[in-house]
Structure formats: structure tokens, C-alpha cells
Amino acid sequence: MGKRVITIDGPSGAGKSTISRILAHHLGYTYLDTGAMYRAVALKTLRFHLDLRNETELRALLSNLNLSFKGNKDGFHIFLDGKDVTHEIRTPEIGMQASYISSNAVVRETLWRIQRQIGEEGNVILEGRDMGTVVFPDAEVKFFLVASPEVRALRRHRELLEQGKSIEWQEVFEDVIKRDVNDTKRDLSPLRPAEDAIIIDSTQMSIEEVKNTMLKILKERMLRA
């Protein structure tokens, strides 16, 4: 079997990260959470109070960008300038800033380059918004994971509470809706399924059911290839 690339795209809170980790563990693949990359850049722009309209400053910030990752059965960790920022980037504020900076062409081109390098190593799962449409249009298997906004907000809310953050469900829900609008309406790489993506609606499914559905498809596809 050759070196494979599996992509999982979809809106915020659909369960992409959880399922990517589970599948990576099952298949012995690495995985890349590309949303975390946008979040890390967002963190850096906030730290430096960067005005995105200042292209010279933005290019300088991105040319000094030092991102590294560890994605295995134990989860995904992202390091910005050598420091583990995995937890720090999981706030609604960074999520909004990530959604905002992700419509910037210089930011996207920089991150696409890194994503392609990692994908080319093969046997990797890449999750995000445009993995199957733009970054890896030739991926072996493309999934598009969706769920209703209410269920996605419930899942995100539960996660935030588990991390000890105090936040109302309504606020998380509004955040989900706002980010959906930003992610689907932007000109560059808007969130949409690739023509050959397999759409899975996890609204009524447990994570175990999503896993079994995906594994069944992967087995069929990979045996055929």
C-alpha cells in the first residue's frame, strides 16, 4: 500500500479532532489539526498586536513562524516558537481571531505550504476546512463531517466546561453560528465539501458510530486501491 492521505473537513465542533485522533490511532497514522495552526498564528498576531492590514509586518511575523507538532494516539500537540500552546489556543477569543485571520491570503499560503509538506510524508490524516478541496485535492479518501449547530455548540460547551472554563451555552452557540458564516462565506478556500467527499452527519451519531462508519469506508476504499 502506498503512502496515504485522508482528509476530514467540516465546520467547527463537528467532532473532527476527536475522530482524527481515534482513526490515527487505529491506522497507525499521524494526524494534523490544521485549525490549531490557524489558532497558533492567531495567538501570535494577538501577542504582537498585529494589524493584519500591515502586510509588511504580517509577512515578517509569518517568515519567523516556528510551528511544530506531535499528533499520535495520545492526542495532538502544537508548539509555537518551541512552546506547547495546545491548551492556550482553545479559547473562544482565539477561535474568533483564527476565523478572522484565516481569510488572509498570506496567512493561508504560508500554512498551506507547511500542510503540504506534512501530507507528502504520507500515512497522515489532515483535518480542517479546505484539506480535501484545496490542499489535497488528490487525497485517497475525503470525509466531510457535519452536525447541527445546536449539537456542535453543546459539544463545544461540554468541552469548555470540562476544561474548567465558565461560559454560557448561548454564547458558544452564537460563536458557532458566527464562525460558520465567516468560514463558509470567505472568498478564499471557503468551507464546502469536495465533489468527491463522503458526507457524514454526526448529529444523531455517537463517536463510536462515526468511527465504525469511517473505518468501513476506509477499508473498502483502501482495499480497492
- Count of residues near ligand DC by CB under 6 A: 14
Task: Please state the closest distance from residue 157 (CB atom) to ligand DC, in A.
Answer: 14
Min CB(223)–ligand DC separation in Å? 29
The type of residue at 157 is: H
Locate 102 and state its grid cell.
484565516
E-only strand ranges, 12-160: 30-33, 67-72, 75-80, 83-84, 124-128, 141-146
Least distance (Å) between residue 24 CB and ligand DC: 16
Q: Which is nearer to ligand DC, 15 or 218 (CB)?
A: 15
Q: Tell me the DSSP string of 141-209.
A: EEEEEE--HHHHHHHHHHHHHHTT----HHHHHHHHHHHHHHHHH-SSS-S---TTPEEEE-TT--HHH
Distance of CA 104 to the CA centre of its chain: 17
Q: Does 99 bind ligand DC (CB under 6 A)?
A: yes
Q: Which span sits near ligand DC by CB under 6 A: 128-136, 137-145, 160-168, 212-220?
A: 128-136
Min CB(124)–ligand DC separation in Å: 14
Should residue 175 be labelled a site residue for ligand DC when binding is judged by CB under 6 A? no
User: According to the binding rule CB under 6 A, does residue 12 interact with ligand DC?
Assistant: yes
Window of 51-59, 96-104, 165-173, 193-201 that interacts with ligand DC by CB under 6 A: 96-104
What grid cell was written down for 1?
Answer: 500500500
Instruction: Compute the distance between CA of residue 166 and CA of residue 93 in angstroms, rounded to an integer.
Output: 14
Q: Which is nearer to ligand DC, 4 or 34 (CB)?
A: 34
Residue 225 · residue 171 · CB < 8 Å:
no
The window from 73-81, 94-102, 138-146, 162-170 that contacts ligand DC (CB under 6 A) reads 94-102
Q: Is the dihedral of CA 149, 155, 158, 163 positive or negative?
A: negative
Least distance in angstroms from the C-beta of 183 to ligand DC:
5
Shortest separation between residue 85's beta carbon and ligand DC, angstroms? 13
Q: Does 34 bind ligand DC (CB under 6 A)?
A: yes
Count the neighbouring beta carbons within 10 Å of the beta carbon of residue 224.
6
* 3-state SS assignment for residue 67: strand
Question: Interface residues with ligand DC (CB under 6 A)?
Answer: 12, 34-35, 38-39, 95, 98-99, 102, 128-130, 179, 183
